[in-house]
Chains A and B, each alone.
Chain A
Amino acid sequence: MKMSLKLVQAAVIGALSCAAVTGAQAAPEKVSVYQAFQSIQYLPLYVAIDKGLFAKNGLDVTKVTAGSGAAGVAAVIGGHADFSLQDPMTAILANQKGASLTNVAGVVAGVPVWILVPKDSTLKTPADLAGKSVATGLNPTTSTYLLQRLIKQENIKDVNLNMVQLGTELAPVTAGRSVAAVLYEPQVDQGIAQGFKILYGFPKAYPGGYAFSTIDTLTSTVKTKPEMVAAFVKGIAEAEALIQQSPDIAKAVAEAEFPSLDKQVVDNAVQRLIDQKIYAVTPEISEAAFKNALQLQEDVGNIKSGSVTYAASVDDSFAKAASK
């Protein structure tokens, strides 16, 4: 009797310990990420979620669409979000106003902006835009800043910027009110499918990379939850590698995330973004890429030259560790 009781006790203790151990492993950490938009440029994030790469690293990630970059950053500042995904410069602007955010992983490492014109357009180069109306996204958005800088650099005179809601830039061109549209994907491949041609592509102007969209978090989160941040960045890294290795998987995820878009357009857009090296190959944010993005904000006048440093804005340690 005594023997069996002791056996039972041992068994119970053993079972409980096992449960405790497996329980600690089984319960994934809840994490929220606020994305500025539901955008095909943000495919690495969707691949990480949909293909279970976050789950594999012990995270249960919820994705929320904030509606704008600023709203996402505000959510992180306010504590509603652990991470946000948008233009790194938005976090920098908040830092200048007293916030404390750090960029930890790159998602969009090139410039996904093209200028399109209709099939029968006679325009051949950006210089031909002089005196014309160009449809572009409502400020502040990087595509419009790039256009404004291009106009200044190439000294193109009297270009009228017809600012419309992001994603609707093709409409004024179709309606005949503007002669060209400045677009992100998937509007670029939507336009091409309708017969538009590319007048100018911004990707080729930045061979060193461009920190276009990154994951940022509170500096305090980096200090207090380094394992969580590391796990998140690892999930992103694995997704980015997967996209490069298996474009078909990437396209399948994209089609599922954008069910209302034509499947061929989605596939073409993903392929273009892979070919032009827009999707980050690794989450590392290089100083050169960061500087290119910073330069634009300084040229447009939003950030004073010399007020921002790479070291204070980017923590690349997690990305480096994840890439090993």
Chain B
Amino acid sequence: MDASGKTTAARAAAHHARLTVSNLSHGFEADDGTHTKIFDGLNFHIGAGEIMSIVGRSGAGKSTLFNLISGLLAPQGGRIGVGARSDGSEGRIAYMLQKDLLLPWRSILQNALLGIELHRKVTPADVTRAKEMLGRYGLGAVIDAFPHALSGGMRQRVALTRTLLVEPTLVLLDEPFSALDYETRLTLEDDVMTLRETTGTSVVLVTHDIEEAIAMSDRVILLGGRPAIIEDEINIELTTHGPRTAVSAREAPEFRTYHARIWGGLRSNNIQHAGATV
């Protein structure tokens, strides 16, 4: 814990929230016509420059929450508010999936610019920004290559570039690194964590991987039950050797304790609410 005594979560809340989920209700109709509520009055918010992970068992509603936040689904009740930028202009959410979703018929550079291209005209300044960012991720030499020539890790970095080039206030990630090898995964976790320092972009990470959640996040919330509620909310404070990285985080003494708490919470989840599908 740092000297001010406040948790990072509290500090974030004091700032203008990037994302506000208020009184969210959503459900679905089963084949037999019964209406099952997945969420019933869910509330939480994300602050500026904050990285928050959402963990939960399969079927807890993580994917539905992801779709609701990203705007792919309209909530049946409550609202999801995207906070404005510091200059007052509209905030924006961009997301990344496990699939890189790169268009195979476009070059790396063209794929990176896709997000911008789809909602406004691409300017030379945009192209310069794209090349710069691709260069920072080590992709400078392949900007004219096609996705099929790149490895999975490189492709996810292009996807990350595409996501960041539209200058989102909040980036939503759905297990984006789970298909990659361990070493690449650590590298990309570092890339995401750096966002906090460089651009102040907030990040919401939906994941199965508890270690990844703890290593990267300022806050972890545990989703469980039917309807799903925030069963636990943990503020992550890690004492690391040197700056916090994916590796140094995992070596911090508090790491195991957080892990036990979250793991315990997930497992108890299953016994309490037998109605949840596994």
Do A and B touch directly, given a CB cutoff of 8 Å in the complex? no
